[in-house]
Amino acid sequence: MSNLQQQRLVVEQLRREAAIKRITVRQAVADIMKYVNDHQQDDCLMIGFSSQKANPFREKSSCSVL
Amino acid sequence: MPPKDDPETAKLKQELQALIEQCKGKQKSVADTTLEAATSSVEDIPRIKASTRRMLKGHINKVTSCHYSGDSRHLVSGSLDGKLIVWDTWTGNKIQVIPLRSAWVMCSVFAPSGNYVACGGMDNMCTVYDVNNRDSSGAAKITRELAGYEGFLSTCRFLEDGKIVTGSGDMMITVWDLEAGKKLDQTPAHVGDVCSMSLKVEQNIIVTGSVDRCIKLWDVRTLKCTQTFFGHEADVNSVCFHPSGTAFVSASEDKTARLFDIRSDQQVCVYRPPTANSSLTCCSVSQSGRILLAGSDDSTVHLWDLLKGEHNGNLQGHENRITGLSVADSGLGIATSSWDNAVRVWG
């Protein structure tokens, strides 16, 4: 592909990218915050394991068959 | 003196400059606030308490990558010792050791189904192994060896068991049909090595980071670039979608991690470690999207409050550069790979 053809493609791509619809940062951040808020209480990294049963790394106690 | 441009080239160059200014102007016009200002009312979070739950020892050379299976339990790691190891992260046991034809493995990934693993590197190939079937020597059966790259394989992701998308040092992204063993589509993606990619299956989009400092968003069905993001001042080593799907994070040689928002088309936050003197090599986000994690050349994983931009501490334990980071889909574990030959699971 010639330099000129490449240049044309780059400009065409940039025309497409310039034309996209953009929302405000305020709206974008609000949506991210909402998602995080909705999921934060289930995030093990933040709240730890909800119970010992939920902790996959716990020491497994031995079972005895009665 | 360089030769003068012909009239058409000169016109295109002018238009290019004008379009760049137009993009910058449009981004600025929607930047009605900053992330920090918009989240100022959000409560701070306490210091994250996570420690090494499992030390996965087995590799005898630098581990260059790790990736969780969709079951949030099994993990694949690749090492310069020429092996892939499939681990059960809950018990710490090795499920399988897969000897590779080339020791120069740079990426290893699990198909979400857990049925396949793929890897590649300086052999300029992507090899797919069937985790559930062995060949006559007892090693995992090779499903496909995908050749045709003119550069190293740096990153790949399974779109489904039969389809894989790859990023490579020849600056291309390629989609393969694994059943037919054929390329479905390919495109030049960046003007430098493609280093990393992240996939949002539900929305058919991938984001790629490159040595050319840009990050691009692609429709995986057409391999058309829909957006380009600027901001980093050096190689983008890693990119990862935010679970909300409307943003992604990145980690770079420029010692920062950044948050980019897709719909407002711009960078919205820069995260720096307290003493920013090491490259950040890999990044991911916790399950809720509140915590940003980035592995560093300084042997630790840095944690930040993604919403407020504040550093929240480190995961310490590795003794050398962190090369890979994977957060389990369930959020119950974080795996890291390192040049210290170990893989650790944190939680």
Q: What is the pLDDT of residues B193-234, one digit of tens each?
A: 999 999 998 889 999 999 999 999 999 999 999 999 999 999
Q: What total number of domains does chain A contain?
A: 1
Size of interface A-B (CB pairs under 8 A): 152
Which residue blocks in chain B are alpha helix, DSSP H? Answer: 7-30, 35-38
Take residue B345 and report the two structure tokens written for it. 């699971």
**Within-domain flag for A14:** no
pLDDT in tens, A30-54: 999 999 999 999 999 999 988 888 8
Rounded mean pLDDT, B328-335:
96
Rounded mean pLDDT, A3-10:
91
Rounded mean pLDDT, B301-313:
98
**Within-domain flag for A31:** yes
Domains of chain B: 57-188 (2.130.10.10), 193-316 (2.130.10.10)
B290 at A interface, C-beta within 8 A:
yes
Residue A38, domain extent: 21-55
Please list every residue in chain A whose beta carbon sits closer than 8 Å to the beta carbon of residue B89.
56
Take residue B151 and report the two structure tokens written for it. 């550069």
- The distance between the two most distant Cα atoms of chain B, rounded to a whole number of Å, is 68
3-class DSSP state of B326: strand
Judged against a pLDDT cut of 80, whether residue A64 lies above it is answered with: no
Please list every residue in chain B whose beta carbon sits closer than 8 Å to the beta carbon of residue A5.
none
Check residue B301 and give its pLDDT: 98
Rounded to the nearest integer, the mean pLDDT of chain B is 96
Complete edge-to-edge strand list for the sheet that includes strand B63-68: B63-68, B74-79, B83-88, B93-99
Judged against a pLDDT cut of 70, whether residue B236 lies above it is answered with: yes
Q: Which of B229, B222, B313 is nearest to B271 (CA)?
A: B313
Do the Cβ atoms of B258 and B244 come closer than 8 Å?
Answer: no
Residue type, B69: S
Nearest CA in chain A to B327: A45
Of A8, A24, A30, the CB nearest to B30: A24
Complete edge-to-edge strand list for the sheet that includes strand B343-346: B52-56, B343-346, B334-338, B322-327
Q: Which of B132, B126, B56 is nearest to B92 (CA)?
A: B56
A47 at B interface, C-beta within 8 A:
no
Rounded mean pLDDT, B159-186:
97
Please list every residue in chain B whose beta carbon sits closer than 8 Å to the beta carbon of residue A26.
32-33, 38
Judged against a pLDDT cut of 70, whether residue B14 lies above it is answered with: yes
Calculate how close chain A gets to B211, using CA atoms only, in Å. 19
Please list every residue in chain B whose beta carbon sits closer than 8 Å to the beta carbon of residue A39.
243, 287-289
Please list every residue in chain B whose beta carbon sits closer than 8 Å to the beta carbon of residue A42.
287-288, 331
Q: Any idea of the CA torsion for B303, B294, A23, B220, to the nearest 10 degrees?
A: -150
Measured distance CA(B314)–CA(B71) in Å, rounded: 26
Burial class (CB in 10 A: 0-12, 13-18, 19+), B31: middle
Q: With cut-offs at 50, 70 and 90, classify the pLDDT of residue B4.
A: confident
Spell out the residues 6+ positions from residue B100 whose beta carbon is closer than 8 angstroms to its own.
B78, B82, B83, B84, B119, B127
Calculate how close chain A gets to B152, using CA atoms only, in Å. 23
Check residue A62 and give its pLDDT: 65
Count of other CB atoms within 10 angstroms of residue B99: 12
ipTM for the predicted complex: 0.94
**Within-domain flag for A15:** no
pLDDT in tens, B84-115: 999 999 999 999 999 999 999 999 999 999 99
Measured distance CA(B256)–CA(B272) in Å, rounded: 5
Q: With cut-offs at 50, 70 and 90, classify the pLDDT of residue B81.
A: very high
User: For an interface test with B, which of A7, A24, A45 has the most B Cβ atoms less than 10 Å from its Cβ?
Assistant: A45
**Within-domain flag for A41:** yes
Pairing outcome for strands B126-134 and B257-261: unpaired
Looking up tokens 């992701």, which residue turns up?
A: B157
Check residue B37 and give its pLDDT: 97
Rounded mean pLDDT, B310-320:
98
Measured distance CA(B99)–CA(B20) in Å, rounded: 48
Check residue B83 and give its pLDDT: 98
**Within-domain flag for A26:** yes
A25 to B34: CB separation less than 8 angstroms, yes or no: yes
Check residue A53 and give its pLDDT: 86
Can you name the residues that pair with B156 across neighbouring β-strands? Answer: B166
Rounded to the nearest integer, the mean pLDDT of chain A is 91
B263 at A interface, C-beta within 8 A:
yes
pTM exceeds 0.80 for this model? yes
Distance of CA B89 to the CA centre of its chain: 21
Please list every residue in chain B whose beta carbon sits closer than 8 Å to the beta carbon of residue A54.
332
**Within-domain flag for A10:** no
B42 to A28: CB separation less than 8 angstroms, yes or no: no
**Within-domain flag for A3:** no
Measured distance CA(B254)–CA(B271) in Å, rounded: 11
**Within-domain flag for A66:** no
Render chain A in DSSP notation, one character per residue. Answer: --HHHHHHHHHHHHHHHHTS----HHHHHHHHHHHHHHHGGG-HHHH--SSGGG-TTSPPPPP---
